Amino acid sequence: MKSGSVLKPLMKIGELSKQAQVPVGTLRYYETLGLLVPAQRGRSGYRYYAAEAIDQVHFVQKAQTLGFTLQEVQQIMGVRVAGQSRHFVLRQLLDEKIERLNDEIQRLSAFKSDLQHYQREAAPDMPKDDYVQGICQLIDQVKVPMMQSSESSV
């Protein structure tokens, strides 16, 4: 050991939970997914974590804030550990996420247009009974997307 270096104490999962502000159950779940690895296990089975574990937990949370699933975070962290090009994997995941968002934006924009059409069709100056009937008729006019059946017709 180098002179002057200071060993950082390990912490149990409860302490990590407090410092990272994440429930213990979440930390255990992250561990089962390989997103968090204890620095060591005691003879009694306690998990002991290094201070860096707080950064790992925050990394997972930040990635989720960006819309990454835990499976995608596994991919990113796996690349980090393997020393491969993180930028390539991250770029690929971001490209896919942006494509899905663009598709969702188009779908929501079309839905908004449909709602605006139905809103224009509803006449607010109708008598109450006619208005309710008119709303029901508008709802009846809504086109429902056809779902493909997995059952074959006999």
The total domain count for the chain is: 2
pLDDT value of residue 152: 46
Same domain for 18 and 59, yes or no, is yes
Share of residues in the chain with pLDDT > 70 (%): 73
Which residue would you say has higher pLDDT here, 71 or 84?
71
Same domain for 104 and 135, yes or no, is yes
CA distance 139 to 40: 60
> What's the helix, strand, coil split of the chain in %, to 5?
60, 5, 35
Same domain for 32 and 61, yes or no, is yes
DSSP state at residue 15 = H
CA distance 105 to 69: 19
* Domain stops at, among 68, 93, 110: 68
pLDDT-derived band of residue 29, with 50, 70 and 90 as boundaries?
very high
Q: Is the confidence at residue 40, as pLDDT, over 80?
A: yes
pLDDT value of residue 123: 59
pLDDT-derived band of residue 22, with 50, 70 and 90 as boundaries?
very high
Mean pLDDT calculated for residue range 123-149: 66
DSSP state at residue 150 = S
- CA angle (102 as vertex; 96, 105 as ends), nearest 5: 140
Mean pLDDT calculated for residue range 26-46: 89
Residue 123: which domain range? Answer: 85-142
Average pLDDT, the chain: 80
pLDDT-derived band of residue 115, with 50, 70 and 90 as boundaries?
confident
End-to-end CA distance of the chain: 77
pLDDT-derived band of residue 7, with 50, 70 and 90 as boundaries?
low
Nearest to 76 by CA among 93, 98, 61: 93
Same domain for 57 and 96, yes or no, is no
Same domain for 64 and 91, yes or no, is no
Choose the weakest-confidence range: 79-83, 89-93, 149-153: 149-153
Centre a 10 Å sphere on the Cβ of residue 16 and count the other Cβ atoms it contains.
24
**Helix 86-121 and helix 128-141, axial crossing angle in degrees, nearest 10:** 140
